[in-house]
Amino acid sequence: MKSKAIIVIVIIAALFIGTIIAVVVPWGRKNNGEYIYRAFSDHVELIEYIGDGYDVTVPDEIDGLPVTIVGSGTFKGNVKLEKVTLGNNVTELGTNAFRGCTTLSDVVLDHKLETLGSGCFANCTSLSYFNVPSTVTAFEGEVFYGCTGLTRIILPNAPKFQSIGSSAFRGCTQLKSIVIPEGISSIGTKIFQDCTSLKSVTLPKTLIYIANKAIFKNCDSLEEIQVVEGSKAEVWCGNHGFAELLKYAGH
């Protein structure tokens, strides 16, 4: 009887431990022929794109689970990719997700996207236009670093969108104007450095923190910085040698 009881206990323990491992260690990689990915209990994270498409649609689901994360470096260095459409469940683009995709020119985003990770579109030199969804809450450093073809970007005027990371637009040599929307309270260092064609920048009255003068380093074409009179942006510009470029909203 004792031996039978011991066997039953061992079996139960094994089943219990197996369940624990399945829940706590969801790091097993899977391959569906197009993506390497991780399937968690309630979502899927893409790890690497292994397909060969020019026009790629990130799926809404894999294994019956919503694809919510395009993980770090998923498409990094893919020089074949020309267009990508994000699935309806994607909320996060990880660090360097599309970095170095030099032929990528068209990105279709769903309005569930919340996070643009550091460097996620860096060095995408064929990207000329980008409309950031109003759902985005985190805009990390180097997001568009080195996007030398970028001529226009629209940033959302949304209450949850409050900061832009360092070097976010650094080296966007074709960008001529940009409006930093109301609600943004912080912009990082070197945000516009080496934007050699940049002529006009609008800074909001909500801006509290501007990293340093290097944000406009090598912006040799800069002609005007539009601010709200009495704002901290106006004070900052006056204190850092840009008073002569100030233009006032509504004037």
Residue extents of the structural domains in the chain: 29-90+101-112, 128-251
CATH code given to domain 128-251? 3.80.10.10
pLDDT digits (tens, 9 = 90+) for 72-103: 999 999 999 999 999 999 999 999 999 999 99
pLDDT digits (tens, 9 = 90+) for 40-55: 999 999 999 999 999 9
- What is residue 232's DSSP assignment? H
pTM: 0.86
Average pLDDT value for the chain: 89
Q: What is the structure's pLDDT at 22?
A: 37
Q: What is the mean pLDDT of each run of 10 residues along the chain (251 residues)?
A: 48 46 55 95 96 96 97 98 96 97 95 94 98 90 97 91 94 97 94 97 94 88 96 93 89 50
Q: What is the structure's pLDDT at 52?
A: 95
Q: What is the structure's pLDDT at 158?
A: 86
Q: Which helix (H) or strand (E) holds 5?
A: helix 2-24
Q: What is the structure's pLDDT at 8?
A: 43
CA-closest candidate to residue 72, choices 136, 118, 129: 118
Give me the count of residues in the chain: 251
Compute the distance between CA of residue 167 and CA of residue 141 in angstroms, rounded to an integer.
Answer: 6
Compute the distance between CA of residue 180 and CA of residue 163 in angstroms, rounded to an integer.
Answer: 10
Asked if residues 140 and 163 have their Cβ atoms less than 8 Å apart, the reply is no
DSSP string, 66-90: EEEEE-TTSSTT-SS--EEE--TT-
